Amino acid sequence: MKSPKEQTLHTRRDFLRTSVLGGALAYTVPLFLEKTFLCLDTMAAATSGQITTGKDGTILVVLQLAGGNDGINTLVPYGDDAYYKARPKIAIPKADILRISDYAGLHPKLTGIHDLYAQGCLGMVQGVGYPNPNRSHFRSTEIWQTGSDADKNESQGWLGRYFDNCCQGSDPSSVGVAISGQTPQAFASPTPKGVAFSNPEQFRYMSEAASDPASADMFMRQMNQPTDAGHNSLSENSGGSIGMLSGPADDDGSTVEFLQRTALGAQMSSDKILAITRKTKSSVNYPQSQLGNSLNLVGRLIAGGLPTRVYYVSQGGFDTHANQLPSHERLMSDLSAATTSFVQDLKAQGNFNRVLMISFSEFGRRVSENASGGTDHGAAAPLFVMGGGVKPGLYGNYPSLTDLHDGDLKFGTDFRSVYATALEKWLGAPSEMVLGKKYPLLPFI
Amino acid sequence: MFSPFPEKLWDRKMAAHLLDRAGFGGTPAEVDALVGMGPERAVNSFINADDDSDLFPRPELLMPEQRLVYKQREKAAATEDERREVRKELGKAEAATMLELRLWWLNRMRYTAAPLQEKATLFWHGHFATSNQKVNDSYLMWQQNDTLRRYALGKFPDMLKAMSRDPAMIRWLDLGDSRKDHPNENFAREVMELFSLGEGHYTEKDIQESARAFTGYRINYEKGQFHFKEKDFDSGTKTFFEKTGPWTGDDIIDAIVSQPQCARFIGKKLWVFFVAENPSEETLSGIAELLLSNGYDIGATLSTIFKSAAFYSPKAVHHQIKSPIQWIMQTTKMLEIPLPDARVLENSLASLGQVIFAPPNVKGWDGGRAWISASNLLYRYNLAAYLLSGKARILGGGNTKTAMIPLKTIAPTSVRGSSDQLLDELSFRVFNYPLPPKDRATYLTFLEKHSTPYADDTVRDLMQLMMSTPDYQLT
């Protein structure tokens, strides 16, 4: 019987030989790479307290509602007259509300989300925000993505710091996947990790640009193999440790090695993701929308066994300054339908219990409607937590609609408490290392 | 510390290094011209290049008076819906002029005969890291760019003072609301933390006191210019860096730059941008001393650096990761093609993580390894494939057209008969640097499959291969 360590090494070696370097090329895997992967696995295990075991680890899906979702018309305080007073044109009639409590209920188009609540796998954290709220999309998004205080500037993303602290050395697609043309700032770290793509068919080397694509592909792989030269410099410079792998460059060889490792990681990720998306089809129908397509893709990647633990998707269009009833209705309807499909998909795969999805938006909107039948930038708002491990219910209190801060709801729960809860209770990661401070954990898991 | 680089070692590799770092690269012919000049004259040709602003007339911008017309229309509108319409129109005009502005600067970088001026302007843009995402005004962004260019190779204290009066900066760091009875500390903090000293070299008290000195700095929106509002200025005594007096904002800046730490901080950033990461303690003190002895004259300082042996050390040459802008400039110059069309250019720089006039945050671009992720490394490879092949679907379709690569110039008939000659010719153009033996062997194996004289397709495929490598990301 092999020890787990030997098995890991064996698997990695096989994987590298067969899938990455390609059957056509009978190259041996450089020794330093094998060692690297072994060290990295061990280190990741030591850091995070649990080994990511590919097909059975827990998964976090972060859903960004970009533009500032109107939280008040999402989780509606229908039991409060102040709501109807503040929003004579755009308040949702009591009769249409999907009730959660005597005070709050869901937007009528969130039927699927309401069902998930009834089935016991949806929670709503109320009044989430941060001190000294900023009403700029740009700045408030940055605050949410980096987890920084409003009066501090932090350039690394909260997930980037999680990757750095807990997922060192895995190939990038095993660390985090963002369904997006650009890497979200939440993933930012000194040495970027994770991958971002909107279409898996574009996340690959386009060898067909060449007049002889097969040869272009083969030679590209050959040129992008780390050399054994890396072996010497790696062990010399890092004293046998693998700290160098993600640390800052401080010697000559390491920039090239860094590029070589990234190139290899890119190929591994691309090969894995394409192999999965080309063979895996969803068993359920998703709505034909950006969010529907993104969650469909995440569903297929999970079904195909990608060992990634963090996915990032987004839905845009929430900046509803004018005539918001029809546009917000469409957004709610899409959110509900896409989430419902995703849940059905995960359940059909038997993966539902592995997944936690958290939604967030850079801010909520003002309590009072504006003169155009819309709402302007606000502050605190509710967010959804959904998944097989979620305890259903309302968390935190609904902020008062009359005791306001500059016309906005006062926050009751710091958004970093939500992050800390997901990190500690779901991903099993030390949240203080990632967030820089201890934040109270919430009981939604 | 900065002993001059020996003339006898001056060759194509060294000249190309200067061309890449003091500018945005170029063709083998441009490298050879520098080789002929020798290091001293070659460096001077960058430092003393004639300003060619007249060749790059200001792009179409949304001028302050045009903006006022929108504001007046908004005010005059009868309903909220009409007002919203006006704002929407303004937003569209703003977006269109910002696009013009970005293209204008990128083309200036691509074609200027004074590349160091543009390179240094890009450096300062990353340093002062003002984003139009908050400023929202193409005219103010252009004005800041113009100011940065004017001082790019001048004296740093003058630039810092100009930046404190720059309308885009004033809006970016909330200086415009700062008044005697309610000083805003944002600018006062960042001027020390990000622009001059770095964290830990001042106290919170220094921030509070200096914030009072920067009160009354305003934007005159009708003219899009700085305006000092005496009434809002706190003329009382302040204690800053242990000296007490009725300090003005300029006094504060003078006090900041007289701190030796300021020269170290600016010196390190210059070194990392132009030379190499992680300068030694010795290098750091050397460059700080150099800056101080030159009275913070950036041009004079860079001149000494570019002529020094340290600049051409093996740790510096071909050891820097190309920024996305450096990548696109060096690539199009080397291929002798114009910049790709606006849509491809915009999408590419966004995907690669360097949108000018929109740095990611107040700290600017991290640079170095932060430029490279698995996704954008693949994107770099594919962008090269797209530029070489002109096949639109490589970058996801559309009707974009790329310029034809002048393959007869890049690989003249005279080198197509021998694999060694072709490789020498192409590798110098593409990498500006000798090929590692293992890479050379691989390229030779590739060429073995093709017969001489090598066809255009072979040349193109070989260049695609060369550009799809970790090595090509270095400069």
d(CA B459, CA B467): 12
Q: Are the Cβ atoms of A220 and B468 closer than 8 angstroms?
A: yes
d(CA A345, CA A241): 42
Amino acid at the residue A142: E
d(CA B278, CA A31): 29
- Is residue A318 within 8 A of residue A70, CB to CB? The reply is yes
Residue B395: pLDDT band (50, 70, 90) is confident
Name chain B contacts of A215, Cβ cutoff 8 Å.
446, 449, 461
Chain B contact present for A181, CB below 8 A: yes
Of A136, A195, A265, the CB nearest to B134: A136
ipTM above 0.90, yes or no: yes
Name chain A contacts of B439, Cβ cutoff 8 Å.
223
Q: Are the Cβ atoms of B350 and A181 closer than 8 angstroms?
A: yes
Beta bridge partners of B283: none
pTM exceeds 0.90, yes or no: no
Note which residues in 250-279 of chain A have CB less than 8 A from chain B.
250, 252, 255-256, 258-260, 262-263, 265-266, 269-270
The alpha-helical segments, DSSP class H, found in B260-406 are: 260-274, 281-293, 298-307, 324-335, 342-352, 374-389
Q: Are the Cβ atoms of A206 and B385 closer than 8 angstroms?
A: yes
Of B131, B388, B473, the CB nearest to A209: B388
d(CA A184, CA A42): 28
Q: Tens digits of per-residue pLDDT, B396-453?
A: 766 667 778 999 999 999 999 999 999 999 999 999 998 999 999 999 999 999 999 9
Token pair 């068919």: residue:
A201
Helix%, strand%, coil% for chain A, nearest 5: 45, 15, 40
- Minimum Cα–Cα distance from A262: chain B residue: B374
Q: Which residues of chain A have pLDDT under 50?
A: 1-32, 34-54, 229-253
Q: What is the pLDDT of residue A395?
A: 98
Alpha carbon of A196: minimum distance to chain B alpha carbons (Å): 6
User: Three-class SS of residue B182?
Assistant: strand
d(CA A402, CA A381): 15
Of B362, B368, B372, the CB nearest to A262: B372
Residue B61 backbone phi and psi in degrees, to 5: -125, 170
Token pair 């290049």: residue:
B49
Chain A contact present for B52, CB below 8 A: no
Mean pLDDT of chain B: 95
d(CA B271, CA B327): 19
A317: left (phi over 0), alpha (psi -120 to 50) or beta: left
Instruction: Assess whether pLDDT exceeds 60 at residue B98.
Output: yes
Q: What is the pLDDT of residue A17?
A: 41
Amino acid at the residue A41: D
Name chain A contacts of B362, Cβ cutoff 8 Å.
153
Chain B contact present for A150, CB below 8 A: no
Residue A61 backbone phi and psi in degrees, to 5: -115, 120
Nearest Cα residue to A401 out of A74, A124, A76, A69: A76
- Is residue B299 within 8 A of residue B149, CB to CB? The reply is no
Q: What is the pLDDT of residue B398?
A: 67
Chain A contact present for B351, CB below 8 A: yes
- Is residue A86 within 8 A of residue A369, CB to CB? The reply is yes
- Minimum Cα–Cα distance from B81: chain A residue: A372
Cis peptide before B453 (omega within 30 of 0): yes
- Is residue B134 within 8 A of residue B158, CB to CB? The reply is no
Q: Are the Cβ atoms of A210 and B389 closer than 8 angstroms?
A: yes
- Our measurement of the distance from residue B448's CA atom to the centroid of its chain's CA atoms, rounded to an integer in Å, reads 41
- Minimum Cα–Cα distance from A152: chain B residue: B186
Alpha carbon of A114: minimum distance to chain B alpha carbons (Å): 34
Q: Tens digits of per-residue pLDDT, B276-294?
A: 999 999 999 999 999 999 9
Retrieve residue B461's tokens: 């495929």
- Is residue B148 within 8 A of residue B123, CB to CB? The reply is no
Q: What is the pLDDT of residue B391?
A: 86
DSSP type of residue B220: E
Retrieve residue A136's tokens: 């700029």
Name chain A contacts of B375, Cβ cutoff 8 Å.
172, 183, 195-197, 203, 266
User: Three-class SS of residue A322?
Assistant: coil
Q: Tens digits of per-residue pLDDT, B175-213?
A: 998 999 989 888 999 999 999 999 889 998 999 999 999
* pLDDT higher at A230 or B67: B67
Mutation target for A interface from B278, B357, B369, B430: give the one with most A CBs within 10 A.
B369
Q: Are the Cβ atoms of B375 and A203 closer than 8 angstroms?
A: yes
Q: What is the pLDDT of residue A227?
A: 66
